[in-house]
Amino acid sequence: MLCADALTETGIGEKCGWIVCISIICRSASDLVQLSNLFDRRTDYILGHSEDASSVQLAEDEIEQLGRWEAEASFYQTIMQYLRLDHFGKRTTERVVETEMERCREQESLFPESDYKLAVRIKAKTSEEVQNAEH
């Protein structure tokens, strides 16, 4: 029987202290997550490790922020891969992007540039890094 089912069907939650109930009923992490979902409380609160009794459900702005972080991480990875390419790889990639930009212009399917804010920082090599690269 799963943790959430056991609490509701047996009424144990009403008959004993919460810590005892958790240790008796929740035999795995997934059971603890189900208990967290049932009571809409964070697992660290249920375990007594936190006073934060807030909901486990993310607010709309938190969900949007997670989406932005995921997109940023993906863009970061793509740009880092591009930067590590040799000259031939970079030029080939630039040609593909130029071709796709032209296609999107013709089909009027480009996203507005104003929808994006981009910052780029390039690290200067230290003299030690330059020396190591030469050897």
Task: Write out the residue range of the structural domain in which residue 67 sits.
Answer: 60-121
Residues 71 and 114 in one domain: yes
Query: What average pLDDT score do residues 39-59 get?
Result: 75
Q: What burial letters (b/e) apply to 66-103, b meaning 16+ CB within 10 Å?
A: eeeeeeeeeeeeeeeeeeeeeeeeeeeeeeeeeeeeee
User: Does residue 65 fall inside a structural domain?
Assistant: yes
Consecutive H or E run containing 40: none
pLDDT of residue 20: 46
pLDDT at 18 over 60: no
How many domains does the chain fold into? 2
User: Does residue 116 fall inside a structural domain?
Assistant: yes
Residues 64 and 95 in one domain: yes
Which of 29-33, 47-51, 114-118 has the highest mean predicted lDDT (pLDDT)? Answer: 114-118
Q: State how far the Cα of 128 lies from the Cα of 83, in Å rounded to an integer.
A: 21
Residues 30 and 70 in one domain: no
pLDDT of residue 97: 95
Residues 78 and 109 in one domain: yes
